[in-house]
């Protein structure tokens, strides 16, 4: 078994195809081989915090997912099981094993396991039985739905995999049918009982955190009394593929501020909802700008507090989210906005295993907003 | 900022989202600012946890302007930040850095600082929340407190907003009397709730994990008492000699420098009773109870329970190390201890009869901090019948630095037809599992101050309780008027007297 030496990392050169029934034995042999070949008196340590199932559709997606694994296990060591559903396969299962290693101290290597299982979609029950046998006990299991389609669109397969996981991570960014997807996924998320130990997270929610931080601070009653309760108008401009993120942002505001949905209208590039707040009607409009970057470009809010109007324009520029003082009645302020690679988002999400009630409420409102467009 | 005030804040980190504020650093051109404070603030900015409205104003004697200070900060961050400085992140952070020249006792200069603060706060829309960090020598602490108070820079603590919080570095005094005097002076100008006495040890992730390990796991706490624990060892060892700190060290010594603050805080966390809530004062009360339970060291028992020593010339990893008395800035006849070991008891129900062995020193073989809990031996039956080779008892070691983590020594059967037992070590390393990018202690502590959480800071009563326990040792040493201290060669684990203190009781210091 050959290790290729890089400055800080070591990686097994190629995954090894193995008999699915012998995966554990092959992993044991792999560890023994790593120890023997580490050389230079080095020691090999296995670190593992979770079982991580990654669901992909097709070989290309499986390859893309595998590219993220070295960075991911560096942040969150895990036994990673990539599950690739391959159309046209016969009923058998194919499996590969490998390990990702990195040098962490002078003579130590830290390694995580990587198993890939390929199966025909109709053989999910067979694949699930193998996966169950591979999960390390006493550790949490998470499912990362890597395939870019709402998981509930493949209900049988999704149910089989979620039955093994305590945490389900999906990403609504880039969904081809956002309205239908949001509606379908929302029903699943909101049906989860907070007490059954299973939690769901949308990576779009995590990406919103800097926006939520800035808006929450800028409109805090301590600085702008009455702004939140007196909100009348919100306008969000975004680039391609970001509609689900923007949608969730608006749903967050509506749910936290306890607005009630009145109705909705949509056109080619715009969606507009009307809500009722304690102080009157609120108009929320989302506008897609095909020429903009794939991100939220700006959020504009207008309010009336005790008879006086105020407004603010938040916008994205470089590594920052700003309050634009030229288009606001608020002073300038900024929060950093780092583009987080997917590995970092996943690792951060894996570390947060508690139910996020704010997300659940926002997701529920997003579902209502989707239903109003039908 | 609470959820009730602002419903949008829910789920965004709760109480750790600070309100907009200005950080004013007295001694803003000094080493602590460059090495710790600015890198910590920069990393907090990278994490997006600083308030959106925020400014840092450095105040010091050095002749700098905003531009020069920003360059000073950039160099410090480049050198000491745990994450590299990136231009696109640095530029918006640098815009929030300001410098004001002046001395701590010059009324006109302080008035100019006040005017500058008002100007900056008006420009940035800040509401007057201020965190003052006194990164100054201990002798200037009360001068600084008086300056901000008399110039009207301190908000009324009853108002809530805007708030004033003042961070003070150790040491708070050099004995009980001076600590009380400093605290009296501080409280003449500030309310106790406005004072944050920092001990950076308490900000370390592994130190905070002591409470999680004790009270977040069901298996440890039932054993955490005199019935099951034989003794506890706390070691804080430094590999370096006194280096450039001779001026300070000659007035301090190991007991004042390490034991009075860091080590007694570690002891408090290890030995405290379960707090009934996470409220800062509940936790600080529990820590204080430990300090109050410390059995006094008296002139009669000091020789049996305290060893002090000085390092003599020796080697560190093959390199010559001069003896302490030959270091630059050290008096040729100095009797300042560079090593101290103590045998300490807590007179309470939980710890009755359990010795806590403490040792700390300079020029020891390696830099390491550790708390090791030695459990009692299993009975001399079954596997522990050979009196010549008793089974090694279980040891739970909590490593503070380096290689933060914990290990548990257990007995295990060696493979084979005969029963042969061998001690094995189950090792958990933070870095291996959670990565090597844990926040620095100052990041956590600065954020706590901004958020108004005083849990990890020392209250006046705790500072004075620790000095009250230390004072008889200082007094006994003073009355002995020793001309020489026991010595240990640099690069070794301490003097023979320290070995005897523990081996006389059939125990051994751990080799770290």
CA distance A112 to A195: 31
Classify B309 as helix, strand or coil: strand
CB-CB under 8 Å, A216 with B8: yes
CA distance A296 to A315: 8
Greatest C-alpha distance within chain B: 85
- Judging contacts by C-beta atoms under 8 Å, the chain B residues touching residue A323 are 52
Query: What DSSP line would sit under B87-111, residue for residue?
Result: HHHHHHHHTTEEEEE--TT-HHHHH
Contact A95, A20 (CB under 8 A): yes
With both helix axes pointing from N to C terminus, report the angle between A59-75 and A342-351 in degrees, rounded to the nearest 10: 60
Comparing A55 with B392, the larger pLDDT belongs to A55
Contacts of A339 (CB under 8 A, 6+ apart): none
Among B2, B133, B60, which residue's Cα sits nearest to residue B447?
B133
CA distance A53 to B494: 52
pLDDT in the model for residue A37: 64
Chain centroid, CA B309 distance in Å = 23
Contact B128, B120 (CB under 8 A): no
pTM listed for this prediction: 0.82
Mutate to test the interface with B, among A74, A76, A223 (most CBs of B within 10 A): A223
Residue of B nearest to A209 (CA): B12
Give me the residue label for tokens 């999910």.
A124
Confidence label for B381 from pLDDT (cuts 50, 70 and 90) = confident
Give Cα separations from A324 to A219, A245, A329 (angstroms). 14, 21, 9
- Other C-beta atoms closer than 10 Å to the C-beta of A160 total 16
- Judging contacts by C-beta atoms under 8 Å, the chain A residues touching residue B8 are 212, 215-216, 219-220, 228, 253, 256-257
pLDDT in the model for residue B150: 95
CATH of domain A206-371: 3.30.360
Greatest C-alpha distance within chain A: 77
pLDDT in the model for residue B435: 66
Instruction: Give residue-wise pLDDT tens across range A338-362.
Output: 888 999 999 989 988 888 889 999 9
Among B189, B200, B231, B262, the one annotated catalytic: B262
Q: What is the mean pLDDT of residues A298-327?
A: 90
Confidence label for A5 from pLDDT (cuts 50, 70 and 90) = very low
Give the containing element (helix H, strand E) for A131: helix A124-134
Among B16, B436, B96, B46, which residue's Cα sits nearest to residue A338?
B46
Instruction: Give residue-wise pLDDT tens across range A166-190.
Output: 999 999 998 888 889 999 998 888 8
Based on the residue annotation, tell me whether B200 is a catalytic residue of this protein. Answer: no
pLDDT above 90 (res B383): no
CA distance B408 to B398: 9
Query: Interface pTM (ipTM) of the complex?
Result: 0.82
Domain boundaries, chain A: 5-165, 206-371
Backbone φ, ψ for residue B288 (5° rounding): -65, -40
Backbone φ, ψ for residue B174 (5° rounding): -125, 5
Q: What percent of chain A has pLDDT over 90?
A: 50
Give me the residue label for tokens 């073989």.
B365
pLDDT in the model for residue A292: 93
pLDDT in the model for residue A3: 34
B315: left (phi over 0), alpha (psi -120 to 50) or beta: beta
pLDDT above 50 (res A119): yes
CA distance A367 to B430: 41
- Judging contacts by C-beta atoms under 8 Å, the chain A residues touching residue B12 are 209, 212-213, 216
pLDDT in the model for residue B426: 82
CA distance A116 to A111: 16
CA distance A26 to A16: 9
pLDDT in the model for residue B378: 85
CA distance A181 to A370: 9
Contact B113, B58 (CB under 8 A): no
Comparing A137 with A219, the larger pLDDT belongs to A219
B7 lies within 8 A of chain A by CB: yes
Instruction: Give residue-wise pLDDT tens across range A96-112.
Output: 998 887 766 665 566 78
């Amino acid at each position: 078994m050959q290790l290729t030496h890089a400055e800080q990392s070591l990686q097994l050169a190629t995954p090894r195809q193995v008999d699915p029934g012998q995966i554990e034995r092959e992993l044991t042999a792999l560890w023994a081989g790593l120890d023997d070949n580490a050389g230079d008196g080095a020691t090999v340590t296995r670190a593992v915090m979770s079982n991580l199932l990654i669901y992909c559709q097709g070989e290309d997606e499986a390859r893309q997912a595998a590219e993220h694994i070295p960075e991911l296990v560096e942040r969150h060591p895990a036994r990673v099981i990539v599950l690739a559903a391959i159309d046209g396969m016969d009923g058998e299962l194919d499996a590969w094993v490998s390990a990702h290693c990195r040098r962490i101290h002078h003579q130590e290597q830290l390694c995580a396991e990587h198993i890939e299982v390929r199966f025909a979609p109709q053989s999910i029950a067979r694949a699930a039985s193998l996966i169950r046998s591979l999960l390390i006990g006493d550790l949490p299991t998470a499912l990362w739905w890597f395939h870019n389609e709402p998981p509930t669109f493949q209900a049988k397969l999704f149910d089989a995999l979620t039955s093994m996981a305590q945490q389900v991570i999906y990403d609504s960014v880039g969904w081809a049918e956002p309205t239908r997807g949001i509606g379908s996924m929302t029903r699943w998320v909101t049906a989860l009982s907070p007490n059954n130990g299973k939690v769901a997270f949308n990576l779009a929610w995590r990406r919103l955190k800097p926006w939520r931080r800035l808006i929450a601070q800028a409109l805090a009653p301590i600085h702008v009394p009455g702004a939140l309760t007196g909100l009348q108008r919100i306008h969000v401009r975004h680039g391609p593929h970001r509609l689900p993120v923007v949608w969730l942002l608006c749903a967050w505001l509506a749910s936290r501020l306890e607005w009630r949905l009145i109705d909705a209208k949509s056109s080619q590039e715009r969606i507009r909802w009307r809500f009722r707040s304690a102080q009157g009607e609120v108009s929320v409009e989302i506008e897609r700008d095909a020429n903009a970057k794939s991100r939220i470009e700006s959020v504009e809010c207008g309010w009336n507090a005790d008879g006086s109007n105020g407004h603010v324009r938040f916008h994205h520029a470089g590594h920052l989210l700003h309050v634009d003082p030229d288009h606001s009645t608020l002073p300038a302020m900024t929060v950093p906005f780092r583009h987080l690679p997917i590995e970092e988002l996943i690792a951060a999400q894996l570390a947060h295993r508690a139910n996020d009630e704010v997300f659940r409420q926002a997701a529920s409102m997003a579902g209502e907003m989707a239903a109003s467009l039908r | 900022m609470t959820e009730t005030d602002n419903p949008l804040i829910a789920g965004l980190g709760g109480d750790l989202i600070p309100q907009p504020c200005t950080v004013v650093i007295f001694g803003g051109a000094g080493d602590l600012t460059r090495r710790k404070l600015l890198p910590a603030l920069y990393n907090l900015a990278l994490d997006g946890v600083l308030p959106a409205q925020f400014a840092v104003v450095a105040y010091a004697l050095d002749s700098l302007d905003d531009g020069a200070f920003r360059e000073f900060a950039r160099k410090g961050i480049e050198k000491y930040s745990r994450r590299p400085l990136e231009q696109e992140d640095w530029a918006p952070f640098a815009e929030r850095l300001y410098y004001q020249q002046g001395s701590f006792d010059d009324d006109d200069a302080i008035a100019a600082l006040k005017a500058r603060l008002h100007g900056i706060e008006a420009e940035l829309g800040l509401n007057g929340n201020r965190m003052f960090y006194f990164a100054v020598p201990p002798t200037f602490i009360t001068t600084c407190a008086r300056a901000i108070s008399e110039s009207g820079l301190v908000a009324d603590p009853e108002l809530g907003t805007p708030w004033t919080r003042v961070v003070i570095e150790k040491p708070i005094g050099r004995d009980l009397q001076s600590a009380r005097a400093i605290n009296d002076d501080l409280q003449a100008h500030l309310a106790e709730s406005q004072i944050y006495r920092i001990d950076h040890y308490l900000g370390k992730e592994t130190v905070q994990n002591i409470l999680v390990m004790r009270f977040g796991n069901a298996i440890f706490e039932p054993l955490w008492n005199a019935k099951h624990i034989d003794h506890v060892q706390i070691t804080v060892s430094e590999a370096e000699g006194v280096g450039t700190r001779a001026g300070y060290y000659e007035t301090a010594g190991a007991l004042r420098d390490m034991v009075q603050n860091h080590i007694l805080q570690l002891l408090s966390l290890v030995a405290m009773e379960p707090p009934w809530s996470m409220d800062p004062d509940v936790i600080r009360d529990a820590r204080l109870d430990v300090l109050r339970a410390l059995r006094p060291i008296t002139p009669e028992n000091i020789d049996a329970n305290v060893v002090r020593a000085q390092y003599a010339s020796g080697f560190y990893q093959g390199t010559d190390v001069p003896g302490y008395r030959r270091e630059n800035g050290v008096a040729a006849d100095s009797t300042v201890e560079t090593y101290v070991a103590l045998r300490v008891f807590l007179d309470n129900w939980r710890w009755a009869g359990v010795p806590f062995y403490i040792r700390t020193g300079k020029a020891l073989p390696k830099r390491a901090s550790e708390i090791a809990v030695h459990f009692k031996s299993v009975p001399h039956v079954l596997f522990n019948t050979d009196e010549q080779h008793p089974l090694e008892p279980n040891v739970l070691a909590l490593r503070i630095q380096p290689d933060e983590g914990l290990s548990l020594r257990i007995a295990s059967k060696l493979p084979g037809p005969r029963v042969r037992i061998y001690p094995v070590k189950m090792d958990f390393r933070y870095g291996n599992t959670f990565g090597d990018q844990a926040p620095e202690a100052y990041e956590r502590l600065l954020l706590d101050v901004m958020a108004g959480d005083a849990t990890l800071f020392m209250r006046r009563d705790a500072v004075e309780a620790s000095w009250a326990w230390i004072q008889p040792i200082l007094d006994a040493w003073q009355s002995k008027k020793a001309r020489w201290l026991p010595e240990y060669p640099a690069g070794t684990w301490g003097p023979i007297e320290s070995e005897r203190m523990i081996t006389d009781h059939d125990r051994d210091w751990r080799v770290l």
